[in-house]
């Protein structure tokens, strides 16, 4: 089982908190012993420990996707049961995929359908 940690404060630059994020993420090492990664941005710090089940090469997290002026980033733990169907819908809309993990499907689905709800 993967695990993730993070903190958000959009009023302060958190990039200088790498040491805290690293310690928090290390606590998850038994949950996801295969890979450790971080995402640091001015108001967001995310850490992820991964247990690789699908797509060792392209399923690393935190996963980011840039579209226009925006960058979207996800950390995720779970299984998307309709990933195949969503991937097909997104491909019909012109999206391409680097791999076959469900995290990439969720990220691109959010990008595609975010305006329906925001």
Q: Which residues are catalytic?
A: 2
Q: Is 62 helix (H, G, I), strand (E, B) or coil?
A: coil
- By the 8 A CB rule, do 47 and 31 touch? no
CA distance 118 to 113: 9
CA distance 77 to 40: 19
Contacts of 78 (CB under 8 A, 6+ apart): none
């Amino acid at each position: 089982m993967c695990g993730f940690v993070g903190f958000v404060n959009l009023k302060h630059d958190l990039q200088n908190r790498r040491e805290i994020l690293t310690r928090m993420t290390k606590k998850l090492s038994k949950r996801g012993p295969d890979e450790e990664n971080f995402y640091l941005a001015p108001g967001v710090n995310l850490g992820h420990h991964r247990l690789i089940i699908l797509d060792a090469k392209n399923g690393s997290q935190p996963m980011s996707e840039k579209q226009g002026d925006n960058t979207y980033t996800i950390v995720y733990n779970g299984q998307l049961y309709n990933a195949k169907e969503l991937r097909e819908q997104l491909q019909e809309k012109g999206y391409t995929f680097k791999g076959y993990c469900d995290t990439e499907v969720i990220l691109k689905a959010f990008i595609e359908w975010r305006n329906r709800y925001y």
